[in-house]
Amino acid sequence: MRKVSISATLMVFCAFASGVAGAAYPVYQNYQGAQNVPMYQQQYQQQMGGQYNGNYVAPGYVQLPATNSTVLTVNSAVAAAPTRVTGALPQVGSSAAAAGRRYYQPADYDRLSDTGLYIGLSASYTASIMGSMKADYIGETSNGNIIDYTVPGAFAAASYENDTMIPLQVSLGASVNNDLRIDFSYTRYSGLSYPNKIYTADYTGVANVLASVEGGAITANTTMINLYYNLDSYTGYLAGGSLRPYVGVGVGVSLNTIADYVVYDSTFYTIIEDLNSTVGEAGLLTGVSDIYAYHNGGTNEQLAFMLEGGITSDLGGGIKLDFFARYANLGRVKTSGSIVLSQTEWLSDGYGSEVQADYDSVFHYTNWYESGRLAMVDIGARLRLQF
């Protein structure tokens, strides 16, 4: 009987203590009080010199009168809630004001980004060639007379000609950041030449004789430093984020070479002496025909620049593919200014007729330059391997 009384007394005491503790210390749902009780108990024991009885109010909280609700007032000294946004990165090119809270996976962000060193190889097709060769000696005079085309085999102008030109480019570069990259490139242009036919001068100096041309291949070896900028921060996603537009500009030096070429005019003939006046005087020069004009080529360095626009797609494994259209201005192509003229001579036989001489006369003209601007529009693709 005595044991039952003691048990009942202990149960009443525990229930009363729980009620007192609940009234004295309101519970905050997110507060893990049980983990901090040992610390509070130690503080209480040190300050009060007694045993912890559950009546201690934690620092930063204010005890309120007992009500039906457990409202908790937080001391101003408590730190504010964190403001850092966690989770996936915002979509590239999105505007928080226009697009709201739009997200994409970090894997997509890494896939589109330009980072680290890269090497590139491109091939393109020249869709348009601009410029033409012109005679630098147009307007020159001799003894007050204009001598434009008095040299047989010289011409006023000739447009470039090509069947197929495939410029090849090798580049080495690095990304400055996710939007900007820079590289050094070497590009070779070949397969360009003079046309097969040009208009050259007749014996009066009028450039209306159609002559054939052989040779005159043009090549350009161009080295540039290029800067490219990604535009997706302005344009947003293209094709669901798989395409990234960009623009580029470059400047450098182009080594332009034109090979030797020959202008042959088989129709050329000019009378030097009237055959009727050469009767009885054999060996007099009566006429000149069959002009061969050997134009010496040349090589010169020129300032070059390019403008490029395109889109980039990721193929995975650090490989990116650029589709681009490029305007390249390579400066001037210029000959060495030397023309060697060979012509067939006709002599009087003394009887009112003429015979071909057993030799050809040769003349050498210097400082007779021919030059022209060279520019083109290329359409192509570039593979880039990033490290």
DSSP-assigned letters across all residues of 268-325: EEEESS-GGGGTT-TT-EEEEEEEEEEE--EEEEEEEEEEEEEEEEEEETTEEEEEEE
Question: For residue 346, what are the contacts with CB-CB under 8 A and spacing of at least 6?
Answer: 285, 286, 287, 288, 289, 354, 355, 356, 357
Residues 32-38, mean pLDDT to the nearest whole number: 49
Region class of 358: left (phi > 0), else alpha (psi between -120 and 50), else beta: alpha
Question: Which residue has better confidence, 206 or 79?
Answer: 206
Q: Which residues pair with 249 in a beta bridge?
A: 227, 307
Tell me the pLDDT band of 191, cut-offs 50, 70 and 90: confident
Residues 214-227, mean pLDDT to the nearest whole number: 95
Rounded Cα–Cα distance for residues 64 and 57 (Å): 11
Question: Which residue has better confidence, 177 or 148?
Answer: 177
- The reported pTM is 0.64
Is 335 strand, coil or helix?
Answer: coil
Stretch among 45-49, 155-159, 285-289, 331-335 having the lowest mean pLDDT: 45-49
Task: Tell me what percent of the residues of the chain surpass a pLDDT of 90.
Answer: 29
| pLDDT tens digits for range 204-213 | 666 677 788 8
Question: Which residue has better confidence, 231 or 142?
Answer: 231
| pLDDT tens digits for range 298-333 | 999 999 999 999 999 888 888 999 999 999 999 999
Rounded Cα–Cα distance for residues 94 and 98 (Å): 8
Is 245 strand, coil or helix?
Answer: strand
Rounded Cα–Cα distance for residues 205 and 263 (Å): 16
Query: How much is the pLDDT for 291?
Result: 84
Q: Which two tokens stand for residue 294?
A: 């050997």
With 0-12 / 13-18 / 19 or more C-beta atoms within 10 angstroms meaning exposed / middle / buried, residue 155 is: buried
Burial 91-124 (b: 16+ CB within 10 A, else e): bbbbeeeeeeeeebeeebbeebbbeeebebebeb
Residue 376 reports pLDDT greater than 50: yes
CA atoms within 13 A on the CB side of 127: 9
CA angle 194, 196, 202 (to 5 degrees): 100
Residue 144 reports pLDDT greater than 70: no
Q: Sign of torsion, CA 270 272 275 281?
A: negative
Contact 344, 104 (CB under 8 A): no
Domains of the chain: 1-76 (no CATH), 112-386 (2.40.160.20)
Tell me the pLDDT band of 163, cut-offs 50, 70 and 90: confident
Query: How much is the pLDDT for 335?
Result: 92
Residues 2-20, mean pLDDT to the nearest whole number: 52
| pLDDT tens digits for range 81-126 | 544 444 445 555 544 444 444 444 444 444 445 568 999 999 999 9
Q: Out of 33-42, 46-55, 284-293, 331-340, give the one with best mean pLDDT.
A: 331-340
Query: How much is the pLDDT for 265?
Result: 83
Whole-Å CA distances, 11 to 2, 3, 141: 15, 13, 130
Question: Which residue has better confidence, 77 or 144?
Answer: 144
Rounded Cα–Cα distance for residues 16 and 78 (Å): 32
Query: How much is the pLDDT for 250?
Result: 98
